[in-house]
Amino acid sequence: MIPARGGSKGVPLKNLQAVAGRSLVARAVDAARSAGAVDLVVVSTDHPGIAAEARRAGADVVDRPADLSGDEASSESAVLHALDVLAARGAAPEVTVLVQATSPFIDGAALDRAVRRVLSDEADSVLSAAPTHVFTWRLDDGRAVAVGHDAAHRPRRQDREPLYAETGAFYVMRTSGLRAAGHRFFGRTAIEVVDERTALEVDTVDDLTLARALGGDEHAAAPGTHVGLDVDALVTDFDGVHTDDRAHVDQDGHESVVVHRGDGLGVARLRRAGVPVLILSTETNGVVSRRAEKLGVECIQASADKAAALRAWAAERGVALERVAYVGNDVNDLPALALVGWPVAVADARPEVRAAARLVLDHDGGAGAVREVCDLILAARAAQDVPR
């Protein structure tokens, strides 16, 4: 069971973020499928994009109800709901494994060993944990108190028995015990010791950046993007996307910008394919209107709330937000990026925007980024033999 809801706050659509060319949810499915003792992999999600990604990776999908998809819902509640759905389908697993998609480097062999420990009745529940020799402390009314060690005695690392830090990567449970207890720790609980190098959890933008560095990423790209971007509409910011985010100001205060001719050709091809395009800008500037007119696309300016404007525009045209690609470059794009199925960042976007993106383009803003995203959309339509 892999719980993977769509409403992550710290990193928007976190479970679709890519590390080393595979989304977090796909990496979790891969790890689970690589464990020989696992014979069924199920992703529980409330998000259609995550569901589609899970199926592409080879998992079954259980639709997670809204009341189990909020910030306060526990992983156990999602797992127990999925077990009920499977029971209605006639499946009654002896052992249930909770795999966390937020752990991008799960060791499938360690997971397999943990499952077999429960199957062989060595334990009732097993958690993954990494050894640590860190001296830990807590604050008690502002006073530091040693935890797990004697502050007056500081033996060398090699002379100390390790403690074990729960990694959060996986939990293996006898299903009957899980149902009876309602939580993941019950009966004879054991530790499956894993390499501390696999223990990273992605909860923040910094965690995601570190995971990508460890995975050798230069750009984040979700699986399948090499064949295109499957969406029904394209929405872009203007400054920093159609331009390089610089403005030329003459002695009379008139502003001008530089745009890329290739972007215009890409948009023209997209329009001929029947894909609606919108430029959505916070600023009010005549150059934005003129460029939109030149491209023959819609334009909304002076939008203090880009997310609300985007939601209204998509609703008016009957386009589902999960079928929209939004291209941005700066922090004011984050609310809109969080709304759509395909949040996209230009190559030189702010780090926060790159982290929130499901796809980071190879081109900078004003240097062919719009053409690139247009070509990806057209490639997806051609791959699906959509009439142009």
Using one digit for the tens of pLDDT, what is the confidence trace for 31-60? Answer: 999 999 999 999 999 998 899 999 999 999
- Residue 269's CATH number: 3.40.50.1000
pLDDT score for 360: 87
Q: Tokens standing for 214?
A: 């460890």
* pLDDT beyond 60 at 221: no
Domain stops at, among 207, 237, 270: 207
> Does 159 share its domain with 287?
no
pLDDT of residue 66: 87
Range of the domain at 74: 2-207
Least confident of 45-54, 214-223, 336-345: 214-223
Tell me how far apart the alpha carbons of residues 385 and 266 are, in angstroms, rounded to a whole number: 19
pLDDT value for 384:
65
The pLDDT score that the predictor gives to residue 183 is 93
- pLDDT at 250 exceeding the cut of 50: yes
> What is the mean pLDDT of the segment spanning 202-227?
67
- Within-domain flag for 214: no
Task: Compute the Cα dihedral for 146, 150, 151, 154 and give only its sign.
Answer: negative
Q: Would the pLDDT of 280 be above 90?
A: yes
Residues above pLDDT 90, as percent of the chain: 63
Rounded to the nearest integer, the mean pLDDT of the chain is 89
Question: Rg (Cα) of the chain, in Å, rounded?
Answer: 24
Residues 343 and 237 in one domain: yes
For residue 181, give both structure tokens: 């207890």
199 and 315, same domain (yes or no): no
pLDDT score recorded for residue 58 = 93
pLDDT in tens, 64-98: 998 888 878 899 999 999 999 999 999 999 999 99
pLDDT of residue 247: 82
Indicate whether 10 and 118 sit together in one domain: yes
Strand order, beta sheet including 277-280? 298-300, 277-280, 233-236, 324-328, 342-345, 359-360
The token duo for 22 is 């595979």
Q: Are residues 16 and 95 located together in one domain of the fold?
A: yes
* Residue 215 included in any domain: no
In the predicted model, is pLDDT for residue 387 greater than 70? Answer: no
In degrees, to the nearest 5, what angle opens at C-alpha 189 toward C-alphas 187 and 193?
170
The residue that leads in pLDDT, 104 or 228, is 104
Do 114 and 259 lie in a common domain? no
CA distance 379 to 50: 21
Is 213 part of any domain?
no
Range of 150-159, 170-179, 349-358 with top mean pLDDT: 170-179
What's the whole-model pTM score?
0.64
In this structure, are 31 and 176 located in the same domain?
yes
Query: Token match 């005549």: residue?
Result: 286
Q: How far apart are CA 365 and CA 325, in angstroms?
A: 16
Q: Considering the domain boundaries, does residue 388 fall inside one?
A: no
Q: In this model, does residue 355 exceed pLDDT 90?
A: no
Q: List, in order, residues 6 or more apart from 247 with CB less than 8 Å away.
A: 239, 255, 256, 257
Same domain, 36 and 159: yes
pLDDT > 80? residue 385? no
Residue 220 lies in a domain: no
Question: What pLDDT, on the 0 to 100 scale, is given for residue 354?
Answer: 87
Residue 262 within any structural domain of the chain: yes
What DSSP designation does 64 have? P
Question: Does the structure show a pLDDT above 50 at 220?
Answer: no
Q: Could you tell me if residue 61 is inside a domain?
A: yes
The CATH number of whichever domain residue 120 belongs to comes to 3.90.550.10
Burial class (CB in 10 A: 0-12, 13-18, 19+), 139: exposed
Whether residue 197 lies inside any domain: the answer is yes
Per-residue pLDDT reduced to its tens digit, 282-336:
877 888 999 999 999 999 988 889 999 999 999 999 999 999 999 999 999 999 9
Q: Report whether pLDDT(112) > 60.
A: yes
**DSSP code per residue over 124-178:** SEEEEEEEE---EEEEETTEEEEESS-TT----GGGSPPEEEEEEEEEEEEHHHH
Same structural domain, 341 and 196: no
Domain edge (last residue) among 178, 207, 236: 207
Percent of the chain past pLDDT 70, that is, above it, reads: 95
Number of domains composing the chain: 2
Domain shared by 202 and 231, yes or no: no
143 shares a domain with 36: yes
Predicted confidence at residue 223, as pLDDT, reads 37
Same domain, 203 and 230: no
Per the document, the length of the chain is: 388
Residues 120-162: pLDDT tens digits? 999 999 999 999 988 899 999 999 999 888 889 888 888 888 8
Where residue 388 falls among pLDDT bands split at 50, 70, 90?
Answer: very low
